[in-house]
Structure 1
């Protein structure tokens, strides 16, 4: 059955041959390799994700910036950046890194409120990844994101995929699905409707991250076995030293990707059980595009 599916599936072309480093055995390093294979972090083309290019002419707004991977990528492209998060420490630490790497305009804000304290049309690129599932009123939040984009602005949005969320509901602690963590689960259809009803035009969709669905399951299992409190754990909090079970999974995934059919198998599993669903969309530039 797998052989038949692999004949049907053609790997998505990547910008250049990607080899998996022998040393990439930590979950973070292996997860980064996996993301690059999905089209993320294409430094040669300036694409945060394939189809979402950032240039020095852009102002990028990163809402729910977390550790700042999108903001720092934009900084390396010479863009101006605005980044917001509800956690003061994350904004402070990211501001320090941004200021050390660029002289372009930047602004960091601590905020989890509506409306966000930013002007209409302040950004040409808007990123909001793994945030909407935390929001009680996602429709209002999306309206804010649209307000802050210029006409023609491009949006990169992601939320957890429902299959991975439903699987984790039987394994993760109850608090993982309570405020301030995941209070929304978006079906494929609901996520698209949320974006389109806010007035954006969808340009691209993809599913990604089977590696992290399994990685999180192994994390929960390891924490339970160690008798540690699981309350409030999110992926940003998974730091070295990693549980041996997660390291073993990273080595297994690395070995799979190194196989001749590794990329095709990865893409099949990403479609079957993705961690995230991603949408690239655009704000219409004219009233005719909106109609």
Structure 2
């Protein structure tokens, strides 16, 4: 399930892409399939190991692009181990809301993307996230959980302040918001409740089949209850002064 729309976020073959806070690697794998050279970075050893195992499986199955490279590495979003302007593209999907020092992470994102490069940032959308927080303390007080709820205008301003220019916004995953509301109601750690199991089956069916009825419903509902908000930004080109 991709949150970043790769039709709005062009990833040409041969570009260098950082998937920051890659988790299980969903965006990293999509970028790699498109021929990008991908670094999938996460603080979790387990997530990095899982990404590298999947990349190995892709190679064995002949699914790896012949001219692209990809690998998972462990690293800290507050002190990225890369030189300035290393990447043509940076994706930071559902990571900033976990970081107390999110301003430092934003500055690092802006530092490692090259002038003229693109950045995609996704965070939980304010209204659906507020509902989750109001329904369940456990939803956001777990170790490594969400530490803030962003206002879209505030997030846009803060990313602008570190040197990035917003170029587009959209909302995603409206059908997933009720699933999390249900989990918050019945127990966020209860994976076996009949209501959440049934709704999860619906989500899996939707992802596998992509029927017109649910795709249309989500497109209509995304601006209202989309679970995530996505910002696309560019780093301005360096202009030389004319004397």
TM-score norm. by structure 1 comes to 0.70
Counterpart CA distance in 2 for 1:263 and 1:106 is: 31
Residues 246 and 179 of structure 1: CA distance in aligned 2, closer, same or farther (over 3 Å): closer
Unpaired stretches in structure 1, ≥5 consecutive residues: 1-31, 41-47, 225-229
Counterpart CA distance in 1 for 2:142 and 2:28 is: 27
> Aligned pairs, how many?
229
Q: Which residue pairs with 1:14 in the alignment?
A: none
CA contact (8 A) 2:92 2:120 kept: yes
Q: Which residue pairs with 1:64 in the alignment?
A: 21
1:268 equivalenced with 2:220 (yes/no): yes
Counterpart CA distance in 2 for 1:174 and 1:251 is: 24
Partner secondary structure for residue 169 of structure 1: helix
Superposition map of 1:133-172 within 5 A? 133-172=97-136
Counterpart CA distance in 2 for 1:110 and 1:268 is: 38
1:60-102 alpha-carbon deviations (Å, 9 max, x no partner) = 1000000101111111112111111111011011012224433
Partner secondary structure for residue 287 of structure 1: coil
Q: 1:95 aligns with which of 52, 61, 67?
A: 52
Partner secondary structure for residue 205 of structure 1: strand
Unpaired stretches in structure 2, ≥5 consecutive residues: none
Superposition map of 1:234-273 within 5 A? 243-249=193-199, 258-259=212-213, 263-273=215-225
Deviation at 1:187, TM superposition (A): 0.4
Counterpart CA distance in 1 for 2:76 and 2:54 is: 22
1:248-282 alpha-carbon deviations (Å, 9 max, x no partner) = 3356675xx654xx655433322112211101111
1:74 equivalenced with 2:31 (yes/no): yes
Q: 1:121 aligns with which of 76, 85, 99?
A: 85
Deviation at 1:175, TM superposition (A): 5.8
Query: Which deviates more from structure 2 when the two are superposed, residues 266-275 or residues 55-64?
Result: 266-275
CA contact (8 A) 2:77 2:108 kept: no
1:160-208 alpha-carbon deviations (Å, 9 max, x no partner) = 1111111011223336246521112110111111221111111110112
CA contact (8 A) 1:134 1:179 kept: no
Superposition CA RMSD, Å: 2.7
TM-score norm. by structure 2 comes to 0.82
CA contact (8 A) 2:55 2:71 kept: no
Q: Which residue pairs with 1:282 in the alignment?
A: 234
Counterpart CA distance in 1 for 2:175 and 2:72 is: 31
CA contact (8 A) 1:124 1:149 kept: yes
Query: Which deviates more from structure 2 when the two are superposed, residues 272-281 or residues 169-178?
Result: 169-178
Counterpart CA distance in 1 for 2:86 and 2:131 is: 39
Counterpart CA distance in 2 for 1:275 and 1:140 is: 25
Counterpart CA distance in 2 for 1:91 and 1:71 is: 11
Counterpart CA distance in 1 for 2:145 and 2:74 is: 17
